[in-house]
Amino acid sequence: MSNKMWGGRFASGPDALMEEINTSIDFDRHLFREDILASKAHAAMLAKQGIITAEDAGKIAQGLDKILGEIDAGTFDFKRALEDIHMNVESRLTELVGPAAGRLHTARSRNDQVATDFKLWVRSAIEDIDRALAAFQHALVEKALEHAGTVMPGLTHLQTAQPVTFGHHMLAYVEMIARDRGRFADARKRLNESPLGAAALAGTSFPIDREMTAQALGFDRPAANSLDAVSDRDFVLETLAAASIAAVHLSRLAEEIVIWTSPLTGLAKLSDKFTTGSSIMPQKRNPDAAELVRAKTGRIVGSLNAMLMVMKGLPLAYQKDMQEDKEGAMSALSALTLSITAMAGMVTDIQPDTARMKKAAGEGYATATDLADWLVRTLKLPFRDAHHVTGRIVAAASDSNLPLHRLPLDAMQKIEPRITRDVFEVLSVSSSVKSRTSFGGTAPKNVRMAAKRWQRKLDKGKE
């Protein structure tokens, strides 16, 4: 038996295997709200333009509202034989309102219909992600204010480099997330053109008003080219690209949390809220939430790569390949939203061991650069000469198994006779971080100012 929704050309129904590979209702059912919204806008426009009667448009709208209620209530019967959300809704609409339902598809194709629905869904997902990112930033800022003066080791190559503050470290992620939010905002801006009315690929001969449907659905304008409108999936690619970069940022912080909370470093602790135990080792406290955020990055980046491969060889216009645009993207954006929320929770929960952090900040001769800077400022040495002198002093301290600030003055003076006792004022980790007052530096007063500036900005964004 042919599919009654499109089967006039076909004398028999599809093979069971064809039906299995062709159906998309298992995942595009999530577009039900967008599909109904777009259909109501389309029906209202058709009536206004005199393409269908106001009576039929009224019946269609009422029927669509009933279907929405059924889906929300969990009583709607999704049929895999009807392939997708569009046919499932139209079939039920026919049962509810009769022949008027058949007029809804006038001047419309599933090609422009699905592009419109998915744009609406992605736009909504971007808005949800932005709210989650803003909450994450707020958690980071609060932690930065709390620990503006908490000294910790700053690392390069995962080796001790220079002392920084934990608050400064948190604010680094605030900046990253700000760029993520900018990328999502850019993606939202570019996707906000309506495909509805492009029909299959060439437009329609009916006197439709695409401006009306675009406005009704919150788009800025109709997409300008019918071929592009139905075959464009840049909005999926761009959103997944932004999601992938954001996920990488989350993964970087998740990795740091794993390192900080390891007994090998002991720099911070997570509570029972974000850790789990072992089935065999009773002493274990595993940072599983952070590890899972780190892992979900693979799913998100993989979804972007998969979508790029789907699109890379497709001629204009719509191809069935594009059915693969939804499942991976929906999974990826859902995973990202969950990961952001989990990271915000961990940032709020994590408690630095301030004493251990300060001790670790002084290990590995972390204030060597401060010594070199002192030699430049006080003795007027060229920086390269100061760098060389400092290297020799660090070697002497290492040979004596002493931290830099414990090396006797006479040992330093054997290398550079003009060094005075004043040098010890710059060799503590606290003095080091306090001295980093350049714009964007780690000085606690800088951190407090930057955190409060971000607080005001985030609070203003809520208005």
Identify the bridge partners of residue 152 per DSSP, sorted by sequence position.
Answer: 164
Q: What are phi and psi of 254, to 5 degrees?
A: -60, -40
Q: What are phi and psi of 427, to 5 degrees?
A: -90, -5
**Which secondary-structure segment (H or E) carries 380?**
none
Q: Name which of 301, 308, 287 is nearest 247 in CA terms.
A: 301
* Active-site hit among 2, 262, 271, 278: 278
Q: What does the alpha-carbon distance between residue 144 and residue 151 come to, in Å, rounded to a whole number?
A: 12
Give the total residue count for the chain. Answer: 463
* Active-site hit among 157, 205, 279, 438: 157
Q: Where are the alpha helices (DSSP H) in 312-443?
A: 325-349, 354-362, 368-379, 383-399, 409-413, 429-435
Half-sphere exposure (CA, 13 Å, Cβ side) for 242?
25
By CB atoms closer than 10 A (0-12, 13-18, 19+), residue 175 is middle
405 is catalytic: no
What dihedral angle (degrees, nearest 10) is formed by the CA atoms of 377, 378, 382, 383?
-50
428 is catalytic: no
Residue 265 DSSP code: T
Q: Is the peptide bond before 317 cis (omega within 30 degrees of 0)?
A: yes
Q: What does the alpha-carbon distance between residue 346 and residue 139 come to, in Å, rounded to a whole number?
A: 9
Question: Which residues have a catalytic role annotated?
Answer: 157, 278
